[in-house]
Each structure stands twice: as structure tokens, then as C-alpha cells.
Structure 1
Amino acid sequence: MSQALSRSSSMDLPLPLRIGLMQPLSWLALGWKDSCRAPALSLAHGMVLALLGALIFLVGHNRFWLMAGALSGFLVVGPVVATSLYAMSRALERGESVNLGLVRRTWSHWQQGQSKLGSSYWCLVQFGLLLAVSATGWVVISASLITLLSPVRIASPMDFMQHVVLAPDSTLFYLWLGLGSFLAAPIFASSVVSMPLLLDRKVSLQQAVLTSWLVILQNPIAMALWAALIVVFTLLGLASLLLGLVFVMPMLGHASWHAYRDLVDASDFALREAAS
């Protein structure tokens, strides 16, 4: 197979690139390096995400059937929350200043100059809303599945472990896990490089999603490893009473920018600059 897939005949797309199987490990190293180069803002992002996780725990501490879906849905909306981390890594790559103003511009004025809704206007927001809807749908499905099929009421993590994960008949757990993986796979394929690409270049939402899928098709094993690393590190962060999320989530966010840079050649598309 060639270094990059040919462009679609019906739509001009950025080129998905082939990478080595172990390349995702280098993204983690680069993500950690970026976190260390901008520690205050990176840790602030991690603290916000940890507080969001704590809020989920607070609301669902006695409704684990709901919390299980909400925490797994937490992974779905991660690419949206990490948008300003992508912008920080891009600025570091260019030798530009990384400060609170950059974060503010990323979230509020990155597409200044557009006067009306169109194919690319507010595309980051549009994609974020789609991911939020997907996460909400999974929360509802997960809660319904556990509530309807569990032999007892699941009110705590210990209940979930005892009566779902470690139950003599593990059918419910495998069904829950399998359904979650089935729903998560297309979401991951649609979002793995979409958000950094939308932030970086003037492409439409459709172009970004199609490019993301082509990246998966070009590098299925490497991207499976990347997905596994994201899940493992996120679970480690959750298992450390959320404290690990303060460090893990910024690292993964910065690493996702480097993943995009290695996986996509978008040099033929104009830059999408935030307002200064």
C-alpha cells in the first residue's frame, strides 16, 4: 500500500499517512513533554476534567447504573474538551506563546471573520454537540441495560463489581462491554483526528470525519493500540480517585495533537487561525 491513500474523487480530503505500529507510544512521550513545557495551563485542564469526573461521582454515587454509563461517556466527549490542549501543542510546535489568552481565543474567537452559518462555520461546536448526543445516548442505553437485566439494584461500585463484573453468569457484563465497544468504535473512528484537523485547517465537518475514518483504515493495528492506550490511561486516572486525571488527560490531549500531525497531511488546506 502506498504512503497515503488517494484523495476521494467526490471530495477533496487531506491525505491520511501510514505510521509505524508503535508510533502511538511516541505520541504519549511528546504529549508528556508538552505538558511539562506548559505545566500550569496543562494541569488546569486536567483539574477541570478531574472536577467534572468528581461531579459525576457526586451525582451518581448511589446510582452506579447511571455512573457507569456517564464515566464511559466521559471518554466520548474527551476530544472536545481537549480542544485548547491541541491549540497549546500547536503553539509550542510553532514557537509561539502559550498563555491564558491562547486558551480564551481557542474557545471564543478561533473562527472570527465568518458572518453566517455554513459548511465550516462553528464546525467544532457542531461536532462537539454530536459527540455529546452520542455520549448521552450511551448513558441512557447503559443505565437501561444494567437496570433492566441486573438481578439486584446496582447502587455502588461494589454492587457493579459483585453482581455484574464478577457474577457467576457474566452475560450482562459481556453484553454491556460488547455493546459499549460496538458503539464506541465508530465514534473513535470519527473523532481520532477530527478535532485537531478542524482546529488547524479550513475543512468542513464532513471532510474531517471522512479523513478520520481513512486514517483508521490506513493504520488499523496502530490505531487499535492508540485506542487501548487512551482507555488504559483514563482508567488509571479514574482508579486513582480521579487525581491521576489531572496529569493523564493533558498528556492525552497534547498527544492527540501529535497523533494528528503524524497521521494527516493537510498542507494543501488553508490554516484556520484563532483571532489575536
Structure 2
Amino acid sequence: MASDKQTPVARHSVATDLTTADLRAALAAGWNDFKAHPEFGLFFAGIYVFAGIALYYVLFVWSQLAWLSTLAAGFPLIAPFVAVGLYEVSRRRENGMPMHWGAILGALRGRGDEQILAVGVIVFVAFGFWVIVAHGVFAIFLSASSMGSESVEFLMTDTGIAMLVVGGAIGALMALAFYAITVISLPMLVDREIDFITAIITSLAVVRSNSKVMLGWACLIAIALFVAMLPLFLGLFIVLPVLGHATWHLYRRAVGEYQT
């Protein structure tokens, strides 16, 4: 899957010729990884599914279902970190290494230098910022309505629809920004002993150099996760592992070493 069309980024090079064929190949490889070791994919997906169901239950009990769309928009920000263990599974399978739960569960430590956790802090702060922004959007639009935020009917009004459009647009922009930051950096940090700044720069370079393909990959991930969440999040048991493994293979296609 190597390519001659590469550009140097720090100590690495990134491909500049990714195509939709690479996305199909990554998905096929991701599916094969999932079939080979489904127990890991189902385990990590189960964490995500449980968190989603718990979130929905809490909002239902608190009669705050109007917040569901907002938190659902930010919920995918957590997905790349659930997938870190899946990157390790794919890495071990690729290199013929034994599968150990300890090593796979400890993948969040990266190469033992907590660089992945540093990226996690950035995303966690971003998610908190998104919640604050969403609250502000809610407050602005709710002030123009006689209904309370606990009213699901409010979402069906002109004001409610406008709120969803504005909030959704802001959420999409934030999600895209953090997709660009994490889509390559997280599997790279699992694979190599580098700092998170270099990994983020490399991730941004891949997205910038292959903007159409990587935007297509972002849209595919967003649509797949959204559809998978509709049947009580249960579709995530298949979609999340396959996408996680596939992202690893896309990273391997996109990033090479750079010799100075």
C-alpha cells in the first residue's frame, strides 16, 4: 500500500494520493480484523453502547430529552479513544504478535509516555467547551419560546428547528476540527514513540494533503455512527469496531517514515 507520492512532515512523510479505493481497502481490512478477534471489538463497543444508553436514561429521567441531540452531536468525539484498544489489536495482528488483554487495555498509555492521554485532555476540554456553547445556544433560542427545555415538542417548532440547525452547524465544525486532530494522531501514538504535537501535526497534514478523501472518510464515520445509534445504540457493536480497525489501516497507508 506504499506510495511514491509523499511529503515530509517532521520526521515522517504523509501520502498525498489517497483515493476512495484506499477507504474501501481500509474497511475490508477492518472487517477482517474484527472477524479475526471479535471479542475485543465487542468489548470496546460495549463500553460506548453502555455510555450512550446511560446518557439517554439520565436525560429521560431528568426530562431533558431536548439535550439529547446536542450531546449526541458531541458523543462521537469520544469514539476515537474507545478505538485506541482496537488500534492495538490491529497493530498486533499485523505484526503477528500475541493478543493479551493487559496490553490491549493498556493501549491508552501509548508507548508508556502518556502522550495519548495528553490528546485526551485536549478533547475532553473541547467537549466541555462544546457543552457550554450548546447551553448558550439553547438559552438564546429558549428565551424566544414559551416552552421549557424539557419539552420535546419545542424541537418541532420553528424556533426549535432553528436551534438544532445552528447548534448542529457549530457542533459539526468542532467535530471536524477534532477529527482532523485525532484521526491519524491516535493510531500513530499507539504505533510509534513520538510526542503528541508531532502526531497532531502529522494528522493535520494527512487531512490537508488529502482533503476530499479524508472529508469523505469523516462523513462516512459520522453517518455510520449516527445510523448505528438509532436502534438503541446496538448497531455500534458492529460499526464501531470495523471503523476503528479500518482507521488503523488508513493510518498505515497514509503515514511513512521520513529520512532527513
- The TM-score range, normalised by the shorter chain, is 0.7 to 0.9
1:70-103 deviation line (CA, Å, top 9, x unaligned): 2222111211121111000011111222232332
Instruction: Decide whether aligned partners of structure 1 residues 169 and 195 sit closer, same or farther in structure 2, where only a CA change above 3 A counts.
Output: closer
1:189-216 deviation line (CA, Å, top 9, x unaligned): 1111010111111111110111011101
How far is the alpha carbon of 1:267 from its aligned partner? 7.0
**Residue 234 of structure 2 aligns to which amino acid in structure 1?**
L
Checking the alignment, whether the CA contact within 8 Å between 1:57 and 1:67 is kept in structure 2 is yes
Checking the alignment, whether the CA contact within 8 Å between 1:23 and 1:222 is kept in structure 2 is no
CA distance in 1, matches of 2:21, 2:166: 31
Instruction: Decide whether aligned partners of structure 1 residues 159 and 193 sit closer, same or farther in structure 2, where only a CA change above 3 A counts.
Output: farther
Q: SS where residue 84 of structure 1 aligns?
A: helix
TM-score by length of 2: 0.88
CA distance in 2, matches of 1:171, 1:73: 18
Instruction: Decide whether aligned partners of structure 1 residues 95 and 69 sit closer, same or farther in structure 2, where only a CA change above 3 A counts.
Output: same
**Matched length:** 251
CA distance in 2, matches of 1:250, 1:147: 37
Checking the alignment, whether the CA contact within 8 Å between 2:224 and 2:239 is kept in structure 1 is yes
Answering whether residue 6 of structure 2 is matched by residue 4 of structure 1, we say yes
How far is the alpha carbon of 1:129 from its aligned partner? 1.1
CA distance in 1, matches of 2:163, 2:138: 8
Checking the alignment, whether the CA contact within 8 Å between 1:66 and 1:139 is kept in structure 2 is no
CA distance in 2, matches of 1:169, 1:76: 24
CA distance in 2, matches of 1:194, 1:3: 20
CA distance in 2, matches of 1:106, 1:169: 42
**Residue 225 of structure 2 aligns to which amino acid in structure 1?**
T
**Residue 154 of structure 1 aligns to which amino acid in structure 2?**
S
Structure 2: gaps (5+ residues): none
Structure 1: gaps (5+ residues): 113-120, 270-276
CA distance in 2, matches of 1:27, 1:64: 36
Answering whether residue 134 of structure 2 is matched by residue 142 of structure 1, we say yes
1:139-167 deviation line (CA, Å, top 9, x unaligned): 221233124304232336x536523xxx3
Which residue pairs with 1:97 in the alignment? 98
Which residue pairs with 1:250 in the alignment? 241
How far is the alpha carbon of 1:170 from its aligned partner? 4.2
- Within 5 Å, give how 1:202-217 maps onto structure 2: 202-217=193-208
- Post-superposition, which runs of at least 4 consecutive aligned residues in structure 1 deviate over 4 A? none
1:24-46 deviation line (CA, Å, top 9, x unaligned): 23222221211111011211111
Answering whether residue 86 of structure 2 is matched by residue 85 of structure 1, we say yes
Answering whether residue 218 of structure 2 is matched by residue 227 of structure 1, we say yes
Cα RMSD (Å) of the superposition? 2.2
CA distance in 2, matches of 1:177, 1:77: 17
Which residue pairs with 2:185 in the alignment? 194
1:48-80 deviation line (CA, Å, top 9, x unaligned): 110011111112122134332222221112111
CA distance in 1, matches of 2:30, 2:42: 13
**Residue 208 of structure 1 aligns to which amino acid in structure 2?**
A
Which residue pairs with 2:32 in the alignment? 33
Checking the alignment, whether the CA contact within 8 Å between 1:73 and 1:135 is kept in structure 2 is yes
TM-score by length of 1: 0.83
Identity %: 24
**Residue 36 of structure 2 aligns to which amino acid in structure 1?**
R
